[in-house]
């Protein structure tokens, strides 16, 4: 999985197509990500001492990684890898060849 927490992505398929947001959490085993403010679902909550009335809570649901594309400098790009002279592996943008710092 090439996506990391904190990256800015754009949704390419589904009901939220075209929306952009930051990745909050990554699930590598399932190839899924949670994006801030996208794919909101409503969950009912029971009454507790903090919330005596109970009610509904809106929270983000996960999306499959194939439905998002990484944004680098505001442009969608694919992610590649490059070895530097000191043998360290860095992530680069396939469009511009620049290093991605996230």
7-37 confidence digits (pLDDT tens) = 999 999 999 999 999 999 999 999 999 999 9
- Measured CA distances, 85 to 49, 93, 96 (Å): 58, 18, 20
pLDDT at 1 over 70: no
Looking at residue 8, its pLDDT comes to 94
Over the stretch 34-74, which tens digit does the pLDDT of each residue have? 999 999 999 999 999 988 888 999 999 999 999 999 999 98
Question: Could you state, in order of their start, the residue ranges of all structural domains in the chain?
Answer: 8-76
Within the chain, strands assigned E span 8-11, 20-27, 32-35, 40-45, 55-60, 62-64, 68-72, 75-77, 79-83, 89-93
Q: Could you tell me the pTM of the whole model?
A: 0.82
Range 8-76 has CATH code 3.40.50.800: no
Looking at residue 102, its pLDDT comes to 61
> For residue 96, how many other CB atoms are within 10 A of its CB?
12
């Amino acid at each position: 999985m090439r996506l990391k927490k904190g990256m800015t992505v754009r949704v390419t398929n589904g009901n939220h197509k075209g929306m952009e947001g930051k990745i909050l959490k990554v699930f590598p085993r399932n190839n899924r990500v949670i994006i801030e403010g996208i794919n909101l679902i409503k969950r009912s909550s029971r009454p507790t001492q903090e919330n005596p009335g109970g009610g509904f809570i809106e929270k983000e649901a996960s999306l499959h990684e194939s439905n998002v594309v990484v944004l680098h400098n505001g442009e969608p790009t694919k992610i590649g890898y490059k070895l530097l002279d000191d043998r360290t592996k860095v992530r680069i943008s396939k469009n511009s060849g620049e290093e991605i710092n996230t």
